[in-house]
Structure 1
Amino acid sequence: MKWKTVLEEMRPYKPGRSIDEVKRAYGLTNIVKLASNENPYGTSQQVLDYLDQTPLQYEIYPDGHSSRLRKTLAEKHGVSEESILFGNGSDEIISIICRALLDEGKHTIMATPTFPQYAHNAKIEGASLTEIPLLDGQHDLDAFLDAVTKDTAVIWICNPNNPTGNLMPADKVADFLKKVPEDVLVVLDEAYFEYITDEQHVDSISLLEQYKNIIVLRTFSKAYGLASMRLGYGIADPAVVTPLNKVRNPFNNNSLAVAVAEVAVLDEEFIDTCRSLNDQQRNRFAKFAEQHGLHMFDSQTNFVLMQVPVDADEASEFLLQQGYIVRSGNALGTPGYIRVTIGTEQQNDGFFEAFDELLKKGGSHEA
């Protein structure tokens, strides 16, 4: 086979271990998965009711335009219907952007560590990469600007950033956009937008009126609790969306995913509740870390990146044996830390108890 040579030095995405896999491996009956930033409160009751009551025509192709959902989101965000691009999760939109704009003659810029699919897809397309280390946990936007060349086609900003959870201040993003060349697409990946509680944050979609070279990515996988449905969307000027749609596969969103998203997006009370509960539990994590002298990045997401007293793989394995699946920072580019999805109050009670045992094993960081 005449594979692209770059694939020789790449690895397939390795998902976290499943609940059933951990149960079998460790002989446990109760497992709490805190590794993939899923919504621990499930999804909207209105979605569940819809699924119980509404039949689907399985033999009919989906609406390739997602017309009803498109209209609903356009009204919600105050944009034209032509400004919306749908993907099989926002992951697919990332791959669409890379396929449309990047090749062996192009250059792209991103932070490190950040969401790995930016680099993964860019490498597949043969583009050159510049990865800028985080500065105190934040995107170093001055260094981003310094790295721009005549071949730069795409800049990626994960905001809030995964895996650190940090939110880039809105004024810094706006100031950055003023200085980016107009022919460079800036991707504002906001998968965790619904979890933001910072009162100073400005909805990035409002920036579309001034900047025609940005695309804002959102998803139904996180706060909406529809990760299994794989549905994300991007909002940009139609002049950006139209070429990207040429790359998008037809019928890339299945009928069930689009139908339940139409219901989910209207249940704002559910999102408000999840945001509030998540904020309460996020504050518990911050207090826990402070009490034990552990560094934790400021988070505006439904996960935290927290320091551990032993090697991150060792800490993850220990917590796994206690029934808690987390992500080791060794796999995320953040050695010495673990990424933990913020669970329910009961789930977090158990996690803190397990972490206390880890501290006894590895030595507390308390002064």
Structure 2
Amino acid sequence: MTLRAVVIGGGQAGLATGFYLRRSGLVPGEDFVILDAAAEPGGAWARMWPTLRTFSPTQYSSLPGWMMPPWTSDSGYPLASHVVDYLTRYEERYQLDVRRSVAVGSVRRGVEHLVVHSDNGELRAEYVISATGTWSRPFIPRYPGSFAGQQLHTAGYRRAADFAGQRVLIVGGGNSAAQILAEVSLVAATTWVTMRSPRFLPDEVDGRALFEIATRRHQARQRGETDAGGVAGLGDIVMVASVREARDRDVLHARRPFTRLVDHGVRWADGTESAFETIIWCTGFRPALGHLAGLGLRGPDGLIPTDGTQSIKEPRLHLIGYGDWTGPASATLIGAGRTARDLVRGL
């Protein structure tokens, strides 16, 4: 079967791309398909911990065409479950023909098309759009030594109650670390480790403001103006309600990194040691690009060089949703829509 496009990944970036492909006149299931390895809708949101909240109100957390329904359960921002419900209804609303539990093993070059090999057969396409995200590739840095206690990554975290009464080390300086620290510190003795002093955004800066800043940065770059660096000068951590509450409890204090793991905990630079029952690594993710390895496109940094979303070495391949290198803010709900619009215009 030969298609105009195959989209790999049925999360927010894949759905936004499907919306614009459909709006351009292509028929889901006939001209393009979306393949997703997960059995259920919701992308990475379906695998995140239940108490995670978005950084923006619903009107600034929406995909193109249909606004996310308002969150009215409390005065905060939507929980992950609300986003999963929205994404589920979104793909149904636009009949995007997402084919689930279909894992793509590789993409290869054919004579005239790209060939997508999956556990559900083979598809040929004029264009392949990779939107597999990063959640399936959690990153944990290597340290000398070994730790006998429990270790888990952000991807495996579910609830603070699992660590009640423990001594817990939380490693990482981003939003996930701050939110998990805020929760776990209510039931456990926590220590926070960051590479540098954590930088907190002003309380009034949420995802809406971040998107507006990213938009202005994108427009300036298109005009050839000097890149002002976006939000980097403001800080890294959005002050959602739980993090503000943790600040009020005076627990948002971080130590610089330890030097090695020891059986019962970690050893610090001054030679002292601290004991922990659990280490939670909030140390980010890497792009899930293994299915593209056969194309031989990765650069020295492990990423695929792109012009916008288009692979420079293989123009029939586009990537979306992995970070700013595949479109400004393309890894966010609202940013994925803008990047998907530009991507489909360019096909």
Higher helix fraction (1 or 2): 1
- Identify the structure with the greater strand proportion: 2
Asked if these proteins are the same fold (TM beyond 0.5), I'd say: no
TM-score (norm 1): 0.28
With normalisation by structure 2, the TM-score equals: 0.29
